Amino acid sequence: MKAAVLKAFGSPLAIGNVPDPVIGTGEVVVDVAAAPVLSYAAEVFSGERRYLLPTPVVPGCGAIGRVREAGPDATKLKPGDWVFCDPTVRSRDDALTPDIVLQGWSARGEGGQRLQEYHRDGAFAERVRVPTENAVPIGAIDPTEAASWCAIGVLLIAYGGLLAMDLKAGETLLVSGATGNFGSAAVATALAMGARSVVAPGRNEAVLADLKRRFGERLVPVRLTGDGDRDTEAMRRAAPGRIDAVLDFLPPSVPASVARAAIMAVRPYGRAVLMGGVGMLGGEDLALPYPWIMRNNITVRGQWMYEPAAVGGIVGLVRSGLLDLDHYAVDKFALEDANDAVTHAAANVGPFKLTVLTPGG
């Protein structure tokens, strides 16, 4: 089969023929129709991000495709079924604390690297092999819709954070980092789940205005000033009611003070979920006040990616019409043009933008 191969960090992807994936028990081989190209793929392939990804490797984080062959223990999947290839692969021998690898992308820890040795190659190819539970049915679609369905890879991460905080219909959510790729996905997903309103703080007035245009009165933009106390108060005042929960998607470049200002806008008994990159490049710690957390019964937790059941939930939101994939502008590239796609993805970063490889033509 044809694939794009990263032979060494710092080298361009090599397009050529590689052996077909060989199926085993508990696995599915999928014909890839569309695979997302993440905006920071160039940083991964150059080695700048220092991801634990052994080369040579077929990269690619997730895909939409059709089942080509299912293993002997599959009871429902059959050839031709449209599926989302979930890249979040979990070890099966420890249900409480599984090792996790993003297939074709990265691994965490010694156990994750062992898992990666087998679940290694990703979706920048005509076919990909995934664990059976990672081939999640999405129902019949027109092949021309496959690229748009790649958006659920981004939406799923936001959905994972919203499930972690147990967001309820009618609640008011504040999304810290709402003007970014994942933050904007959180806005769309929270409103689809029935949030009363979403408070969207940020400095990019053009993006805030675009969010308002897309989502109407339930989207409440707040222009940040950089003064933590003033910004916290501005977010509280802007909300139509008390802020029930905060979801943080701020990138590593943003100081912790910005995250702290947003979290401290939450009401007593409120919740905050951290999913961003604050502190990963150094700088000050988050430093939330102990007395404030304790006396106000605040829940603060971290969330990385999402639980397996989230995939079916996000598919349901799309199928119901509550979550509209048409928000995403999709630019498609043939597999042969994978290097151009990586360059394009880096240059077209922002909310509701999607770069996709289409190995299936």
pLDDT of residue 55: 95
pLDDT of residue 281: 79
pLDDT of residue 244: 98
Map out the domains of the chain as residue ranges. 2-151+328-357, 156-302
CA dist 301 and 98 (Å) reads: 19
- One pLDDT digit (tens) per residue for the chain, 361 residues: 999 999 999 999 999 999 999 999 999 999 999 999 999 999 999 999 888 899 999 999 999 999 999 999 999 999 999 999 999 999 999 989 999 999 999 998 899 999 999 999 999 999 999 999 999 999 999 999 999 999 999 999 999 999 999 999 999 999 999 999 999 999 999 999 999 999 999 999 999 999 999 999 999 999 999 999 999 999 999 999 999 999 999 998 899 999 999 999 999 999 999 999 998 878 889 999 999 999 999 999 999 999 999 999 999 999 999 999 999 999 999 999 999 999 999 999 999 999 999 998 7
Candidates 179, 325, 184, 186; CA nearest to 245 is 186
Q: Are 10 and 47 in contact (CB under 8 A)?
A: yes
Enclosing H/E stretch for 248? strand 245-248
Residue with the two structure tokens 């222009």: 223
Enclosing H/E stretch for 128? strand 127-131
- Say which residues have a Cβ less than 8 Å from residue 67's Cβ, sequence separation at least 6: 28, 29, 30, 31, 77, 78, 79, 80, 81, 83, 135
Q: May I ask the CATH architecture of the domain 156-302?
A: 3-Layer(aba) Sandwich (3.40)
Q: May I ask the CATH architecture of the domain 2-151+328-357?
A: Alpha-Beta Complex (3.90)
pLDDT of residue 136: 97
